Chain A
Amino acid sequence: MVENRPILSVVSHLVLILGVVIVALPIWITFVASTHDAVRMTQVPIPLLPGSHFVENFKETLFGTGLSSSAGAPVWRMLLNSMTMALMIAFGKISISLISAFAIVYFKFPFRMGFFWMIFITLMLPVEVRILPTFEVVANLGMLNSYWGLSIPLIASATATFMFRQVFLTIPDEMLESARIDGAGPMRFFWDILIPLSRTNIAALFVILFIYGWNQYLWPLLITTDSDMTTIVVSIKQMLEAAEQSPKWNIIMMTALLAMIPPVFVVVAMQRLFVQGLTETDK
Chain B
Amino acid sequence: MATITLKDLVKAYGDTEVLHHVAADIQDGEFLVIVGPSGCGKSTLLRMIAGLETVTSGEVSIGDRMVNKLEPADRDIAMVFQNYALYPHMSVRENMAYGLKIRRIDKGEINRRVEEAADILELRPYLDRKPRQLSGGQRQRVAMGRAIVRDPKVFLFDEPLSNLDAKLRVQMRLEIRKLQQKLGVTSIYVTHDQVEAMTLGDRLMVLNGGYVEQIGTPIELYDRPATVFVAGFIGSPAMNLITIEARENQLELPNGVRLEGGSDLGKVTLGIRPEHLESDGTGLIRVTAQLFEQLGANTLLHGVLESTDCEIIVSLPGHVSAVAGTVMCFSVQAQNLHIFDFQTGKRIEA
Contacts and interface: CB of A to CB of B under 8 A. Distances in A.
A172 B83 contact: yes
B83 A282 contact: no
A177 interface: yes
A184 B98 CA distance: 9
A282 B88 contact: yes
B167 interface: no
B182 interface: no
Contact of A197 (B71, B85, B89): B89
A182 B85 contact: no
A181 to B, nearest CB: 5
A61 B78 CA distance: 65
Q: Interface on chain A toward B: helix, strand, loop, or mixed SS?
A: helix
A32 to B, nearest CB: 47
B85 A177 contact: yes
Interface in B72-90: 72-73, 77-79, 81-83, 85, 87-89
A109 to B, nearest CB: 17
A140 interface: no
A92 B50 CA distance: 38
B89 A196 contact: yes
Nearest to B99: A182
Interface residues of A, number: 19
A282 B98 CA distance: 19
Interface in A189-247: 192-193, 196-197, 199
Contacts of A5: none
Contact of A181 (B73, B131, B132): B73
Interface residues of B, number: 23
B73 A183 contact: yes
A43 B181 CA distance: 92
Contacts of A196: 89
Contacts of A174: 81-83, 85
Contacts of A283: 88
Contacts of B174: none
Contacts of A181: 50, 52, 72-73, 77-79, 99
Interface in B101-158: 102-103, 131-132, 146
A175 interface: yes
A188 interface: yes
B87 A282 contact: no
B132 A177 contact: no
A4 interface: no
A249 to B, nearest CB: 50
Given A180-B71, A181-B72, A181-B79, A175 B99 contact: no
Contacts of A188: 102
Contact of A178 (B79, B131, B132): B79
A282 B89 CA distance: 9
Given A174-B83, A174-B85, A175-B87, A182 B132 contact: no
Interface of B: 50-52, 71-73, 77-79, 81-83, 85, 87-89, 98-99, 102-103, 131-132, 146
Given A177-B52, A181-B73, A197-B89, 6 more contacts: A172-B85, A182-B73, A182-B99, A183-B103, A192-B87, A282-B131
Sorted nearest first, the 6 A-B pairs with minimum C-beta distance are: A183-B73, A174-B85, A182-B99, A178-B85, A196-B89, A183-B102
